[in-house]
Structure 1
Amino acid sequence: MAAKLEFNTTEFTLNNGHKIPAVALGTWRATEKDAAKNSVKTALTEGHYRHIDTAAIYGNEEEVGEGIKAANVDRKNIFVTTKLWNSEHKNVENALDESLKKLQLDYVDLYLIHWPVSTNPETKKPYDDHTFVDTWRSLQKIYKEGKKVKAIGVSNFTIKKLEKLLNSEGVDIVPAVNQVEAHPLLTQPELVDYLKSKNIYLEAYSPLGSSDSPLFKNPTIVEIAKKYQVEPAQVLISWAIQRKTVVLPKSVTESRVISNNKTFVLEDEDFEKLNKLSEKDGVVRTCDPDFNNFND
């Protein structure tokens, strides 16, 4: 049975009323010359994407901006996300201004705290007098001014860290999203349920796994892909949307950029197989840097 593949146009509504396209082009590791520029242009012009995700630490905001410019799509029809790096937590507005300058944009649609880690750029160690809660208060101020960001959120936050944030004095804005690693071998059910209870959308990075991904060789995923006559990547992206998460597949290969935004609806039986895959095959996490233990 061949699946009916269509360019995905699904949007979700964030807790502040703004719409976020369900599929974004991820640009992590798109660092070779013109890789990010070309993939962003392809995504916007041929892949029917309307959501681009980057970050200051990726080192490609200039190229992402060039790709957006080259695509010549109306700015109001593009949702752009970038992120604040760990060493800039005491320097939020200047860091945002630098990102906007590189992206050649007046505003971003979503600005995230990349990790719940506030580090001294000189020592690389956590500050004693500044945590991600202080950083969030700075983001709230910028957001309330209403010019440079349309929504604010977090990334790589656990339930424990979200609880600390939401219960802190001076915090009166709930993050719009929490961007974390998520795929059928890392479904994070407790976090998913918690985020739903707080009206925070989960954004899934590394939805296809890492390079040389075990997901593409997983027998269950391969079997489902054959059943629908689609690519394993399309199974994984379609599953992520079906569970009502935003998904950020990344590729710099033109054909993959385009095919990654062609999705379909899984039958309930196959959707449930993927929901329970980690119970059968074990949990796999590809991104867990040492500094993630700071600021518990």
Structure 2
Amino acid sequence: MTRLPQPGFGTSGHEGESCTEAVRTALETGYRHVDTAQMYDNERAVGRALEETDVDREDVFLATKVHPSNLAYDDVIETTEESLERLGVDAVDLLYVHWPVDAYDPEETLPAFDEVRDRGWTRHVGVSNFTVDLLEEAVDVLESPIAAHQIELHPQLQQDDLVSVARDHDVETVAYCPIAQGDVAEIDVLREIADAHDATPVQVALAWHYGRDGVVPIPKGTGDHIRENYEALDLKLSDDERRRIADLDAGERLIDPDRAAWNR
């Protein structure tokens, strides 16, 4: 299994100079995994942070994702090269299929990802927002091993089946919206556990992720929240506390477009 640096830093919603500043701050704090996407329209801003930081490029695990409209074979190759240009790098460490919709066709899209890897433009390939069936299909079609599957994942959407299947295939699960866009701060159980540790509910939620085998959260943040999220690495939860958090699973999605694979 490819071990992605823990935690990652998410950049969805970050733009321009504020994006560059946030990524630079994250790297200076200790993050060594940065996640972006063609869809976020911030690859240039992320690239500027990589250029401005004192952290060596080879020490940063950099991931981006191919837009759903760019998933035809030739478009994957063409737009990946464009992403590299925007990021100012020769290669990324991980290239994802962002959503299996629009131009996605496993027999056409996935061989293009193999080709991009063969060209040395990405070290690893991944998928995002797949169902169990689509993930297992991708494992069969791809020649490259799947390094990661990125999905919405937080205490109220624990996705145990997807995490388990990914683990069976040596695929790491990357959790976006790991703090439910901040909603975890209002969950009583997390607040009670946080009080016991002199921590915050957000840190408790992240510590829960960190303690799940094969799960890597990618919280986004600005200012002091960047360090707060990173410091959750030092928070260890008891088995009882983890059981209490497990009971919070309600299957509640925050990101649920009608065209998503699980709605078809």
Q: TM-score, normalised by structure 2?
A: 0.93
Inter-CA distance 209–63: structure 2 relative to 1 (3 Å threshold): same
Question: 1:152 — aligned with what?
Answer: 125
Which aligned pairs between 1:26-41 and structure 2 lie closer than 5 A? 26-31=10-15, 33-41=16-24
Q: How far did residue 175 of structure 1 move? A: 1.2
Q: Which amino acid aligns with 1:288?
A: D
Gaps of 5+ in 2: none
Name which one, 1 or 2, has greater alpha-carbon Rg. 1
Instruction: Give the deviation of 1:214 after TM superposition.
Output: 3.0
> How far did 1:163 drift?
2.5
**Rounded Cα–Cα distance in structure 2 between residues aligned with 1:295 and 1:285:** 12
CA distance in 1, matches of 2:13, 2:117: 28
SS at match of 1:216: helix
Structure 1 residue 72: Cα displacement = 2.3
Tell me how far apart the structure 2 counterparts of residues 44 and 294 of structure 1 sit (CA, whole Å). 35
- Is the 2:185–2:200 Cα contact (8 Å) retained in structure 1? no
Please provide the CA RMSD for this pair: 1.7
Distance across 1 between alignment mates of 2:133 and 2:157: 18
Provide the C-alpha distance between the structure 2 equivalents of 1:272 and 1:69, rounded to a whole number of angstroms. 43
Aligned length in residues: 259
Supply the distance in 2 between the matched residues of 1:294 and 1:246 (Cα, whole angstroms). Answer: 22
Residue 166 of structure 1: how far off its partner (Å): 3.1
Q: Distance in 1 between matches of 2:20 and 2:107?
A: 34
**2:92 aligned counterpart, secondary structure:** coil
In the other structure, the counterpart of 1:78 is 60
Q: TM-score, normalised by structure 1?
A: 0.83
Partner of 1:226: 195
For residues 206 and 176 of structure 2, the distance between their equivalents in structure 1, rounded to whole angstroms, comes to 11
Identity %: 31
Q: Is the contact made by 1:89 and 1:132 (CA closer than 8 Å) also made in structure 2?
A: no
- 2:116 aligned partner: 142
Give, in angstroms, the shift of residue 111 of structure 1.
0.4
Alpha-carbon offset, residue 35 of structure 1: 1.4
Task: Give CA deviations for 1:151-191 in whole Å, capped at 9, x if unaligned.
Answer: 001000110112332344xx333311100000110111111
* Mapped partners of 2:106, 2:100: distance in 1: 5
8 A contact 1:208–1:236 mirrored in 2 = yes
Q: From the superposition, tell whether residues 86 and 275 of structure 1 become closer, same or farther in structure 2 (CA, over 3 Å).
A: same
**Pairs within 5 Å for 1:87-106:** 87-90=69-72, 91-106=75-90
Shift of 1:294: 9.2
Q: Does 1:187 align with 2:158?
A: yes
Supply the distance in 2 between the matched residues of 1:294 and 1:230 (Cα, whole angstroms).
35
- Relative to its length, the structure with more helix (as a share) is 2
Q: Which has the higher contact order (CA 8 A, sep 6+)?
A: 1
Amino acid paired to 2:90: D
Unaligned 5+ residue runs, structure 1? 1-12, 120-129
